[in-house]
Structure formats: structure tokens, C-alpha cells
Structure 1
Amino acid sequence: MCQLLGMNANTPTDVMFSFTGLATRAAEHKDGFGIAFFEDRGVRLFVDPHSALVSPVAEMVRRYPIKSDNVIAHIRKATQGHIALENTHPFMRELWGRYWVFAHNGDLKGFDPRLHGAFRAVGSTDSERAFCWLMQELAKAHASVPSTPELTCTLRELLPTIARHGTFNLLLSNGQALWAHATTALYWLERRHPFSAAHLADEDLSVDFGALTQPTDRVAVIATEPLTRDEPWTAFAPGELRVFVGGRTTD
């Protein structure tokens, strides 16, 4: 299976510490990587079908001084769809004049919904089909641009339809909020004042967040497995959906 990383913050924040922890696991998840950074209404999207451990794109991302308040990253271990750029997460679509970004960890069996022209899969993954179907059904459900609570209610109705087909852990963002859903493994934490030091679980690297943050800063991090060994990660319950806004979970 793949691995996910999401970050939501109340101020543009550097995600490279967490991304380094995720990329360390790419020896086992070597079939591609991708990362999307929201900047206001725009998105910087970097994807490569090569492992994050050897990809020049991943190395460039590590050196790029990008700060964002919503980030989604993914390292792939292919289950459906061949190893190719069009099958590399995250995927992006436009809806209601905003970009939406989606990444999935899991394996969906027999999920082949009818998709209309506005939302069609480019690649051959179950993940992209699920994303296109979600965008299609969200567009059907709302006649005008909905609020974040309204979107959360609609997603809570739609996601079980897909989850019945297998493992469906996902991250979804429109730059205003970050939604995370788990059927199996997903964890989250909130970093807030007073900030402390953190150490990666899989690499000898640490950072003192207290020296890099302001007292008003707040950051939520979501990952398939805890990325650090000394922070209070909380496991999602099976079937749980959470929405993160301004660096905190609101549901």
C-alpha cells in the first residue's frame, strides 16, 4: 500500500521535516511520489514516477523554500495501474473555480462508476476514478459554492459508497480545508504553543519547533504512520472523517 502525508496550518508553513520522514519510507514505496502545495488559489504540484529516494524532482522539492497552509504528499506502492506519470498521486481537478487535490492509500475492487465528461480519469488507477466520482457527485449535490461544513456533510454521505469496495484512506483539499478519511491506518496530531523538539521515527533528524514558530502558530499533520517518535499522534477510527481548518481539526 501507499503512504500519505497531509499538513494544514493557520499560516504558511515549511513541511520539509515531515516530507523527509515520509521520503525515508520510499524504499518500500518506490513506484512514484508527489506533493502539492496550495498558495492562496494556486497549487504547486510536483509528481514523478520514480522513488522519492532517487528522484531529482524530490531532491529539488527538499531544497525549494516553499511554505504553504495546505499540503498533500504521497509515496506510491502500486496495486492498480502501471507505474507512470499519469498514475502518480496527488491528482488535481477544478471545481467551483478552485483547484482540488486528492491522494489515496488503499485498493478498491470493482469500483468502476459511470463518469461524465467534466470528470474523467486520465490514468488507470482506482484512486483517480474515486477522485473523479467524488468531484462529480459534489458538483451534483450543490447548486452553488458550498461552505466547508456543507462539504463535510456531503463527503460523509459519499465516502461510504467508495469504502465498501476496499481500503480507502484519503486526503482531499481545496486550499481552504483539508479532509482526511480512514478505513485502516491514518494518524493525526496538532502542533501548537508551547512548541517543542521532535525527532523523526525513521531517520536521525530532529527539529526544535519552538525556535521556528510564533505563539499563535498552529499546524496539523496527518500521516499513514506516525512520522515522529516523541509526539502525541492519534489514530483515526475505522470509517472516520476529519476536516482540518486553520491548523486544527473541527470534526
Structure 2
Amino acid sequence: MCELLALNANTPTDMGFSFRGLSRRGGATGEHADGWGLASFTPDGHGLTVLREDAPAAFSALADQLAERSPKALVSIAHIRKATRGVVALDNCHPFSRSWQGQRWVFAHNGDLQGEIPLGDQHRPCGSTDSEAAFCWILQQLDAAQPDAENPAALFELLHHCAAELAQRGTFNVLISNGRWLFASATTRLHWLTRRAPFGRATLADVPLQVDFSCVTTAKDVVTILSTEPLTTDEQWQPFARGESMLLIDGEIRRRLQPSRKELQSVQV
């Protein structure tokens, strides 16, 4: 399958250090060599840059440049791919991006979903992955429910239930953002870590690289990192519970939801 990475912060922050660790798993220390992507929203939440390649991140000059100098953002999402559904092609590389209610949304998924996901004509995938089809299906549900696009709490509730329903088809570890908030949900594997003052040192697990965050932050900074597997060896990463969803804004976890008993019984592991 694939690996996910996201950043949510209260001040524009680059994801270079974390992305350096993730990219090494894209063909060097890991088997996720079928493509990669990095999406970063501008700090105002309106602009979006998405860079993708259908090649191993570990040996990509562009990925290496981003690890050295990634965009500063309040929300960034990255992905390295191990193809299980859909050929190795640029159209099948995450993160995927779509417009909804005048907003740009970004989506990245780790897992396999069984069966054909029912889609209408409004939202159609460009590639052949179950992941992009799931993204289109979620947008369909949003169209049908018509939640307030400016209300993160209402969107969070709906996205949580969408994630639980898709998890009935298999494994659905997912990251979604519109640049103002970050939604995350996990069927199996996802970890989180919040960095805040007093900041300390962190050492990557996949690269002999250490950073002293006290030298590059202020006392007011709050940054939460989410990753499929912990990226550092000397920090306290926390696992998501099975079926748990989180809403993050300005680096803080604002909402957490566990699946209902019925939803939990339906989740496949």
C-alpha cells in the first residue's frame, strides 16, 4: 500500500524535514516506489500547489529539492505510492485535487477498497485508482447533503461518516483538506505528533539527519505532523484508534470522533 504525511500549523511552516524522511521510503528504505506527490496551500488557504511524479521519490531530483526547500504552509499533504489498483501513471499519483463550493480540496489515501464505487456524472476520476473514485464519491455525498462549506464542524461530522462507510469496503486511511483545516481518519495505521514549546531535537528514522526545532521556531508555534508510520526515533508518536477521525485547525486537534459500535463492526482489518 502507500504512506501518508501531513502538516497542520498555526504559522506558515515548511515540511522539508518530515518530507525528507518520507521520500526515502519511496524506493530506498521502503517499497513505495510507484510515484509521489506533495500538495501545499498558501497561508491564506486560497492558493494551492500540487507537485507529483510517477517515479520513486527516493531518487527524484524534484523531491530532493522540496525536502531542502518546501513551501511554507498551514496545511501540506504528501503521499508515496505502492500501486495496488491502477497502473503506474501520473494520473494515479496522490494527492488528488478537486473544486467544491468554490474551494480547492486535496485528498490522499492509503489502503485498498473492494468493489465498484458508485459515481454519478458530476465528479469523475481522471485515473484508475480506487482512491480517486473514493474522493469523487465523498464529493457526491457533500453535494447531496449540502453542508455549510464554511462550517468545519459540520463538514467533519459528514466526512467522518463517509470515511466509516468507505472503510466497510476495506482499508481507508485518509487525509483531506481545503487549506483551512485538515481532516484525518484511520482504519488501520496513522500516527500523530504535536510539536510546541519548549521545542527540542528530532532525529529521522530513515536518514541520518537531526534538527533542533528550538532554533527554527518561536514560543507561539504549534505544529502537528501526521504520518502512516513514525518518522522520528526520539519523539512520542501517538497512534490513531481504529476508525478514529480528527479535525485539525491551526496545529491543534479540535475534534475527535470514534466510530459507532455498528461502524466499528463493519470496518475490515
TM-score (ref. length: structure 2): 0.90
Give the Cα separation in 1 of the matches to 2:93 and 2:62.
13
Cα offset for 1:75?
Answer: 0.3
Q: Please say if 1:231 is aligned against 2:240.
A: no
Give the Cα separation in 2 of the matches to 1:143 and 1:152.
10
Report if aligned partners of 1:80, 1:126 keep a CA contact under 8 Å in 2.
yes
- Residue of structure 2 equivalent to 1:8: 8
Give the Cα separation in 1 of the matches to 2:219 and 2:232.
22
Cα offset for 1:114?
Answer: 2.2
Cα offset for 1:136?
Answer: 1.5
Say which is worse superposed, 107-116 or 31-40, in terms of deviation: 107-116
Report if aligned partners of 2:149, 2:155 keep a CA contact under 8 Å in 1.
no
- Residue of structure 2 equivalent to 1:37: 40
3-state SS, counterpart of residue 66 of structure 1: coil
Report if aligned partners of 1:81, 1:124 keep a CA contact under 8 Å in 2.
yes
Q: Please say if 1:158 is aligned against 2:150.
A: no
Q: How many positions carry a matched residue from both structures?
A: 250
Give the Cα separation in 1 of the matches to 2:182 and 2:217.
21
**CA RMSD, Structure 1 to Structure 2 (Å):** 1.1
- Structure 1, unmatched stretches of 5+, are none
Cα offset for 1:232?
Answer: 1.1
Q: Percent identity?
A: 48
Report if aligned partners of 1:47, 1:57 keep a CA contact under 8 Å in 2.
no
3-state SS, counterpart of residue 123 of structure 1: coil
- Residue of structure 1 equivalent to 2:130: 126
Q: Please say if 1:24 is aligned against 2:27.
A: no
- Residue of structure 1 equivalent to 2:216: 212
Runs of 4+ in 1 over 3 A off after TM superposition: none
Equivalent position amino acid for 2:245 in 1: L
Give the Cα separation in 2 of the matches to 1:177 and 1:47.
22
Equivalent position amino acid for 1:161 in 2: E
Matches within 5 A, 1:1-251: 1-27=1-27, 28-39=31-42, 40=44, 41-117=46-122, 119-142=123-146, 144-251=148-255
Equivalent position amino acid for 1:15 in 2: M
Cα offset for 1:20?
Answer: 0.4
Cα offset for 1:146?
Answer: 4.0
Cα offset for 1:52?
Answer: 0.4
Query: 1:125-162, CA deviations, whole angstroms, 9 ceiling, x for partnerless residues?
Result: 00000001111211221264240001011112222111
Give the Cα separation in 1 of the matches to 2:137 and 2:240.
24
